[in-house]
Chain A
Amino acid sequence: MSETVEKIQSIEAEASSAIGSAGTPAELEDARVRFLGRKAALNEILKSIAQLPPEEKGPVGKAGNQTRGRLEALLSRRQEVLEAAALNDLLENERIDITLPASPTIAGGSLHPITQTRREIEDVFVGMGYKVAEGPEVERVHYNFDALNHPPNHPAREWTDTFYFSDDVLLRTHTSPVQVRVMERQPPPVYVIVPGKVYRRDNDATHTPMFHQIEGLAVDENVTLGDLRGTLLEFARAIFGEDREVRLRPHFFPFTEPSVEIDVSCFKCKGGGHLKDGSRCNLCKGIGWIEILGAGMVDPNVFEHVRESGYDPEKIQGFAFGMGVERIAMLKHGVPDLRLFYDNDLRFLDQFGRGVA
């Protein structure tokens, strides 16, 4: 190996070390000038190749140019490292307080808990094959009472109990009149639920003159009381939890027969009536069951009113149920006072805004 090639190798070793140890851009620039500058030893060697003996020209030129290439690469890599380090130092001083509040695209609004509960119930029944029907709040006595088999002296008809506009026109006292309207419009089978506002002439701690109900109606050739039970069991589990059971108690409603009230097993005490600490469960009052709705098999007299639309009580049968949305919402969310739903206090509404939209 020629002397010159050895010199090149020694230059490369020295330069590599200088570049690698350069800690600032200035030191790196110094190293560049020193080893790759115009007056640097390597450049001098490459410039003087012409004067070398012919057998050395090749090897020296090759070694010099390779060394130069490697050093240039080393230099630019070192430069990147130094620049990144400098940037990181800079960024280190630009820390922000990540605990300050976010800038939201828009501050959250909310759906009213009644709307949320109504939708939740609607979705359960839509999933079971029901459509959602609606009807007028200002209703005729015929639809609200007569066609629903309320005898002429039924107490709910009284002017002390129901809001009237005239002898024939009232504010509906339940969503049930829509049952009749739906059956007038379409022949069986019918699977509908009816959400809406209803009105009763009551105003005290546990009653508001306006509240919300959801009515359900299933009419087909062979819908049974057992089907009612199964349907409402599915509903109760969807709303109150998978472990829930339902209980049917006989009751009386003018437009269903047999009529039942449905209780759901208490989701606070798991139906035992007592909490873990042994105290009586205040949600179900120690009974283990909570009444959630009224239901029953549609009374044949109701079908008689819509017989012309295809409802022959000998050929079809069905069930109906009705529940108070406020009651379900109060149970589900632990809202203690009915009035909170109608104060429209933002501090209340805001609690139901999480997860909206």
Chain B
Amino acid sequence: MLPRLCALLSIGLMLLQSAYASPLRSPGPFSERVHQTQIDATLDTDTHRVNAQMTLVWTNTSVQTLTNMPFHLYLNAFAHTQTTFIQESNGGQLRNDAREGDDQDNFGYVLVTALSDASGNDLMPNWKMDDDIADLTLPAPLAPGESVTLNFSFVSQLPKVYARSGHNGDTFNFVAQWFPKPGVFFNGQWNNHRYHANSEYFADFGNYDVRLTAPSEFVVGATGVLVEKTEQDGNTTHHYMAEDVHDFVWVADSKFGEASTEYEGITIRLLYQPPLDEESVQNQLDAAAATFRWFHEHVGYYPHSTMTLVQPPEDADGASGMEYPTLVTTITNLDKSPFQEMAAMVTIHEVGHNYWQGIMASNEFEESWLDEGINSYTEGRIMAESFGQPYAFHIGPLNVSMPYGHHLATMGARVTDPVNTPSWEYATTGAYGLNSYSKPATILATAERIWGVEKMDRVLKGYYQAFAFKHPTTQDFLSVAATVDEDMAKFLDNALNTLQTIDLRAYRMSSDKADSRGGFDLTSDPANPTFTAPEETDSWQHSVTLLREGELMVPGVNVNLVYADGHVETRYWQMTPDKAWEKWQWRTDSELVEVLVDPQFSVLLDGNFANNNKITGENSKQAWRWVQSMFISMQSAVSLLLAW
């Protein structure tokens, strides 16, 4: 009986599964599911306006009784010229895009038109809106474990897109940060920052059950999985479900082309701008699959069953390169290039964010490096280890791999803030960018090279296992690192939380013919000590001084000592915190011609690689070769090009 019952049950389950696509690849819940959000939204594609009803069931998972509940109204950041976002972003500029002018369609808003509780009591008098945030006084105190049900009617007017959300004035509608979104009750208080120019978001996990209605000729993509599609009067309603996600976005464009592939139960769907050749389409799907392959191997499980890649049209650049749970936007140009991998790299970056943000959901307002920094680091490894293309840029023998790209951006940059700084408190937008992306990526790459990739993998895996779906902080990341290697954790702590820097140098070097011992022989006849003049011997006396500038410590690095006879000796320079220098003196039979500190470039955080070596003798002319070659090729290029 039992086996038969099991068989029947599993057939039933299979039928259920095929009838109802599941948003998860394996049964949840994976998160606390603080809210259940149900939305019924209709997009007017002419006015780019969304009319919606939303039922939010929010559970107090804290240990405190709550009397109010703050909300984000992100789209109101685009409502007028005095909002925090527009003021901080120099009138509306983000990344490479900017507000196109003062016409009405460059502005947007989200307005709550009606709000009631489960019994239908009007809560509008309790709703206090202040530009892009709002505060709701709860109808009754909400005790721990209790839930409150709120019914919203709201209108979202999309702006012309220049900062993630909006339309292109034509058929492309990217509907993000579009509904009233509760803040996060975190560490004993509400966390509900305004929409800042240099900042992304922070939200609680929950389930979404959303019906999206748009004209039938529009292709729709959204967070989660499509469970049903119904058509009525030329409009189609797309029913999407998402579980254990902290945001819901959707996109509608009548011009999208579609392609998809499967990777271990994840449906990867690409919505692109035709025409796009087959190779470029495949490149995108491959990039996404390579990302999942790497994360499954090195970090952890992706619980969702979908990943949608959206290519914005060229005139919607502001929407490009952005991550949302189970849906990301690529760059606008997806053509596979023979010499640069930007199209794949950005996709790998954004899909990677489904871990460092999607699954971890740390506070992007306050600790942006936890998403962008870790992601910039892993993106380089995915390119090299899983996608099979380590270079972001490569022409002939010239190339830039990701770690060196980040090193270049970091070296010599002014140190104004610690990496771990709230996003609106950096000295400049440039400092936000440096400290959110390239510098933390370089810090992690340095740790990987010093302590080994195996330890770094243990940190990433441990971080995922301990903190997935739990809003971890920098401290949580460091605590995991400390369980792997105390020294590494200390290095990471200093590199991330202080202004400490490091610059290793080959400071002094000499290599001279050694003399034999000469002079008075003090043990000989005291009345008339014998004297022998020192003589030159065949051996060489070397002296090398190495210098560590800056307070940041690493345990040590290798130093290559190159001798005139071609022999290369590698010595380890063990560093100590209380001494910035190291001096070596020794003798060999061959002249020392070069000292090269850190020949493997393991300390990518080194502020200047150009001072890492010293060369003497014949080899000091090495540099002339560069100059000579460069100079002569430039000069003959001019002659050859003009034939005069």
A, B from the same assembly = no
Q: Which residues of A contact B (CB under 8 A)?
A: none
